[in-house]
Amino acid sequence: MVERKGMQFTQNGQPFYVNGFNTYWMMVLAADNSTRGKVTEVFQQASAVGMTVGRTWAFNDGQWRALQKSPSVYDEEVFKALDFVVSEARKYKIRLILSLVNNWDAYGGKAQYVKWGNASGLNLTSDDDFFTNPTLRNFYQSHVRTVLNRVNTYTNITYKNDPTIFAWELMNEPRCPSDPSGDKLQSWIQEMAAFVKSIDAKHLVEIGLEGFYGPSAPARTRYNPNSYAAQVGTDFIRNNQALGVDFATVHVYPDTWISPCRISPAVSNSFLEFTSSWMQSHVEDAEMYLGMPVLFTEFGVSAHDPGFNTSFRDMMLNTVYKMTLNSTRKGGAGAGSLVWQVFPQGAEFMDDGYAVYLTRAHTASKIISLQSKRLAIFNSLCSWRCKWGCKKKNHTALDALLSHDEL
Residue type, 399: D
Per-residue pLDDT of the chain (407 residues; tens, 9 = 90+): 999 999 999 999 899 999 999 999 999 999 999 999 999 999 999 999 999 999 999 999 999 999 999 999 999 999 999 999 999 999 999 999 999 999 999 999 999 999 999 999 999 999 999 999 999 999 999 999 999 999 999 999 999 999 999 999 999 999 999 999 999 999 999 999 999 999 999 999 999 999 999 999 999 999 999 999 999 999 999 999 999 999 999 999 999 998 766 667 767 888 999 999 999 999 999 999 999 999 999 999 999 988 899 999 999 999 999 999 999 988 899 999 999 999 999 999 999 999 999 999 999 999 999 999 999 998 887 654 555 445 444 555 556 656 555 43
- Our measurement of the distance from residue 135's CA atom to the centroid of its chain's CA atoms, rounded to an integer in Å, reads 27
Instruction: Write down the catalytic residue from 41, 88, 173, 206.
Output: 173
Q: What is the pTM of this model?
A: 0.95
Helix (H, G, I), strand (E, B) or coil at 338: strand
3-state helix, strand, coil in the chain (%, to 5): 45, 15, 40
Instruction: Write down the catalytic residue from 169, 210, 287, 298.
Output: 298
- Our measurement of the distance from residue 91's CA atom to the centroid of its chain's CA atoms, rounded to an integer in Å, reads 21
273 is a catalytic site residue: no
Nearest CA to 316 among 234, 252, 371, 397?
252
Give Cα separations from 346 to 351, 363, 367 (angstroms): 10, 20, 23
173 is a catalytic site residue: yes
Helices (H), 293-381: 310-328, 362-381
The dihedral sign for the CA sequence 175, 332, 22, 202:
negative
Write the DSSP symbol of residue 152.
P
